[in-house]
Amino acid sequence: MFSLAEENYLKAIYHLESKTQGAVSTNAIADAMATKPSSVTDMVQKLADKKVLSYIKYKGTSLTDKGKKTAANVIRKHRLWEVFLVEKLNFHWDEVHDIAEQLEHVHSTELIARLDKFLGFPDFDPHGDPIPDKHGNIKPTEKKLLSELNKNQKGVCVGVKESNSDFLQYLDKKHITIGTKISVLGKEFFDGSMVIQVGRDQFFISKKIAENLYMQTN
C-alpha cells in the first residue's frame, strides 16, 4: 500500500517517462510536482527501497514494472472518477480534475471494479485520455495533433493534451468537444495557425490551440 504522497510521485514519474526517453531527472520531477529537488531526492530514495523505481545517483530514475503498474492503477482510478463526475454528477469537463485528484487516493479495489461496471466500462475519460485496465495496460490509439494535419484534411477530436480550465472553456465557446468533426480549411506555415470548420462555423485558431487537440483521421 502506498501513501498519498508516494502515489502522486509515481503518477508524476509515469507521465514524465511517457513524455521523454530515458531516465527521469530529479529537477523534472520537482517541476512537475511543484516541490523542491531535495524533497524529490528523499522520496525517490524511499521509492527505490520499495522497488517501484530504480534510481542511480545523479543519473535519474525510471519506474520498475511494479512501479508502472501502481502508477497506472492510480491513473485508472483518477480517470474513472472523472467519468463518474461528468457522466453521473453532471460536472463540466473543466471542473473535475481537482476532485479526481482526491478521489484517486481512495483505496478499495472492489470500489473501482464496481464503479467501472456502473459507468459501463468506459475506455476514455472526459478529456479523451485512455483509462488503463485493471492490470495497468493501456490500449494504444492512433491519434495525432490537429497541428499535424494539413489543408483539406479532416478528423474527429478524440482528446485534449492540456486540460486546464481556460483551454476547455475556449473549446466550449467554439463548440468543440470529444467527438466533434473538424476540417482544416487553411494552414499558415509561417506561424502554424489554421482556419478550421466546426459544424457550420469557420474560424481562425492559433498554433497553440492546434497543438493541444488530439484528432483521429480515418
DSSP state of 146: G
Q: How far apart are the C-alpha atoms of 102 and 96, rounded to whole Å?
A: 10
Binding span for Mn ion by CB under 5 A among 9-17, 89-97, 178-186, 200-208: 89-97
Pick from 18, 42, 113, 188 the residue near DNA by CB under 7 A: 42
Quick check: 86 binds a second copy (CB under 8 A)? no
Phi, psi of 90 (to 5 degrees): 60, 30
Quick check: 104 binds Mn ion (CB under 5 A)? no
- Which of 105/207 has CB closer to DNA? 105
Q: Shortest Cβ distance from residue 117 to a second copy (Å)? A: 8
Q: How far apart are the C-alpha atoms of 34 and 9, rounded to whole Å?
A: 11
CB 110 within 8 A of CB 140: no
Pick from 1, 21, 22, 38 the residue near DNA by CB under 7 A: 38
Quick check: 125 binds Mn ion (CB under 5 A)? yes
Within the chain, where are the H helices?
Answer: 4-19, 26-33, 37-49, 65-87, 97-103, 109-118, 165-173, 207-210
Quick check: 11 binds Mn ion (CB under 5 A)? no
Residues near a second copy, by CB under 8 A: 85, 88-91, 95, 98-99, 102-103, 106-108, 110-111, 114-115, 118
